[in-house]
Amino acid sequence: MLEKPAINAQDKCVVTHYSSIQTWSFSKLVNRHLSPSLALKLAVSSLLLACTSVAYSKSQAVPLSYDSWQSTGTEELNLPNLRGQGLSFDEQYQNKLLGEWSLRNINGSVKMEHDPWIQETVKEMTWRLNAQARQQAPLGLVIIDNPSINAFAAPGGVIGLNTGTILAAHSMDELASVVAHEVAHISQRHYESSVDERKKALLMQIGGVLAAIAASAVDGDAAAAVMMGSQTATMNSNMAFSRNNEREADRVGMQIMNQAGYDPRAMPRFFATMNQKSQMNQTANQFLPSFIRSHPLSNERLSESQSRAQRYNSLPLNQQQRHQALFDLLHWRVQSTGKHVSETALTTAAKNSVGAKLALMHWYGEQQRFKEANDVFVELSALPAAKRQVLEPLLSITQSQILTEQNKWQQAAEVLESQQRLYPERRDLRLYLAEALTNSNQPTKAQALLKPLTEQQPSDRYAWQSLQLANEKLAKTTDSPLLANIATINALRYRSHDQLWSGRYERALTSLTQAKQLTAKLQNTAQASSARPLLANINAEIKAVKTAKDFKP
């Protein structure tokens, strides 16, 4: 169950950037063939989102001025002043707490796309775009396994998008335009309209995102109902603010794209795709894509973005080719891992797409058709060195996955180690290699690869899960009773971190209590010196879980 934000009677709800434009009644939900109990829950969620727009109606959007910075007429990236008008350290800390709270709730509510290579590819793009506008790194990136087109940002720097957004885009630049738009919303503080209304805006922004995501995990039409569940009468005062925010996010987003090496002209191209889909849906009497509902797209805004995009120069041809080659791999990898594509579609596309051919190889491996998978690998390995290098490290990752499907863990580790030496900073290679090492009875080496990941990103659930498995393997295989005891305790600790970041607080406390009991037993033995630091860590972790559990926006 998602924890509902606590709002007192004086804090009237605000319709935020992710609110909607139609009222949805309980009776309509029932008529959509939902059970009465589910319909009631969604109707209540809709009502919560459909409160009056007091905070935003008092706010005024003030356009920023921009000066020309190059001869082509493009605009200088002008971000809020970090002095005076910027957030205080206390406000930044509160934003961080809000972001962590939203991340825990999102993780515990929806199905994620956890494939490390997909995560690494989208994260690299997101971090590059974010670096153009913000000093702080994003708190987290979430990729939701959902075919609908949507993207969002939450205060504190949580950025998310659906896999459907990746599949709807036609290029890496179009996908970058969506992420740059969300980065712009954060950098321009569109969730903090004023000091007085800041908490209300932040709270409802997160609440609206969570309510829609939670509903989408249950039923697509129900998700649309929640997203569209607001009082039409409250929108008149809110829409002007929303339009100003959207135009500013478009303008700043294009500048971010340009400085990060992406084509700003891809933004209106993606808008045109969305506009076409929305018109088709209206004709067919279907719901609008989530991205259109949460990011109102008017003809004026589309025209303005097209005009502004023409001020930017085209990317060099070699850069365009690199972007397109990477997007080809990403598009088909998402299709394959998400089970969105058939063998026939992959076979047909593989005639003209190397990304589809690599996805077909992955698909054959999952179907245990290893001879066909190996035939594709041999064909790809025969490509000229320059073309083959473009496929790395995904080619080696896919090869290792086929080997692991055959329980050839040591061979898989050898394939991955050669790539990890070339790209030691890549999270995906560390995760794949750690799995192979754990299953080939080398859990200590796996731990050495994984611990830096949790230090860099404490919310990295995949890394915590991998650390848990490595310690469970170590506890079973070591000849040292002391090492086995410590590994068992650490496995429980690492499990608690995964549970914490998915919002399962009671389970996290249970895991830590079990770890503490095992550690206490060590204090009465010759292993007492090892128990003391472990006990201190566990007590600190219990305190952290309780603090997270008690936090209410």
Q: How confident is the model at residue 9 (pLDDT cuts 50, 70, 90)?
A: very low
Q: What's the mean pLDDT in 518-531?
A: 82
Neighbours of 355 (CB within 10 A): 23
Q: How confident is the model at residue 493 (pLDDT cuts 50, 70, 90)?
A: very high
CA-wise closest residue to 269 among 318, 229, 302: 302
Indicate if the alpha-carbon torsion angle 193, 195, 200, 206 is positive or negative: positive
Whole-number pLDDT of residue 477: 96
Q: How confident is the model at residue 191 (pLDDT cuts 50, 70, 90)?
A: low
Q: How confident is the model at residue 205 (pLDDT cuts 50, 70, 90)?
A: low
Per-residue three-class SS string for 79-102: CCCCCCCCCCHHHHHHHHHHHHHH
Higher pLDDT, 364 or 66: 364
Instruction: Assess whether the previous peptide bond of 393 is cis (omega < 30° from 0).
Output: yes
Neighbours of 8 (CB within 10 A): 6
Mean pLDDT of the chain: 78
Instruction: Count Cα neighbours of 37 within 13 Å in the Cβ-side half-sphere.
Output: 0
Q: Which residues pair with 151 in a beta bridge?
A: 161
Query: Quick one: which H or E segment has residue 128?
Result: helix 116-131
Q: What does each C-alpha distance from 400 to 16, 136, 397, 540 come to in angstroms?
A: 45, 35, 5, 38
Rounded to the nearest 10°, the torsion over CA 446, 451, 456, 461 is 80
Q: 189: which 2 tokens?
A: 């503080």
Whole-number pLDDT of residue 119: 97
Whole-number pLDDT of residue 229: 37
Higher pLDDT, 486 or 526: 486
Q: Which amino acid is at 304?
A: E
Instruction: State yes or no: pLDDT of 524 exceeds 50.
Output: yes
Q: 475: which 2 tokens?
A: 């506890």
Q: What does each C-alpha distance from 42 to 211, 214, 317 come to in angstroms?
A: 9, 10, 49
Q: What's the mean pLDDT in 332-336?
A: 96
Query: Are 204 and 15 spatial neighbours (Cβ–Cβ below 8 Å)?
Result: yes
For the chain, percent helix, then strand, then coil, each to nearest 5? 65, 5, 30
CA-wise closest residue to 130 among 67, 183, 201: 183
Q: Which residues pair with 418 in a beta bridge?
A: none
Indicate the pTM of the whole model: 0.79
Q: Which of the residue ranges 196-200, 388-392, 511-515, 523-527 would you say has the lowest mean pLDDT? A: 196-200
Euclidean distance between the first and the last CA atom of the chain, given in angstroms as a whole number: 16
DSSP letter at 525 equals S
Query: Are 215 and 226 spatial neighbours (Cβ–Cβ below 8 Å)?
Result: yes
Indicate if the alpha-carbon torsion angle 118, 120, 123, 129 is positive or negative: negative
Across 531-549, b (16+ Cβ under 10 Å) vs e yields beebbebbeebbebbeebb
Contacts (Cβ under 8 Å, ≥6 apart) of 236: none
Higher pLDDT, 551 or 226: 551
Percentage of the chain surpassing pLDDT 90? 51
Contacts (Cβ under 8 Å, ≥6 apart) of 310: 265
Instruction: State yes or no: pLDDT of 235 exceeds 60.
Output: no
Whole-number pLDDT of residue 441: 96
CA-wise closest residue to 177 among 191, 156, 161: 161
Q: How far apart are CA 531 and CA 143, in angstroms?
A: 39
The sheet carrying 140-144 orders its strands as 140-144, 158-162, 151-154
Across 22-40, b (16+ Cβ under 10 Å) vs e yields bebebeebeeeebeeebbe
Query: Are 212 and 17 spatial neighbours (Cβ–Cβ below 8 Å)?
Result: no
Query: Are 118 and 331 spatial neighbours (Cβ–Cβ below 8 Å)?
Result: no
Contacts (Cβ under 8 Å, ≥6 apart) of 392: 419, 422
Q: How far apart are CA 116 and CA 373, in angstroms?
A: 21
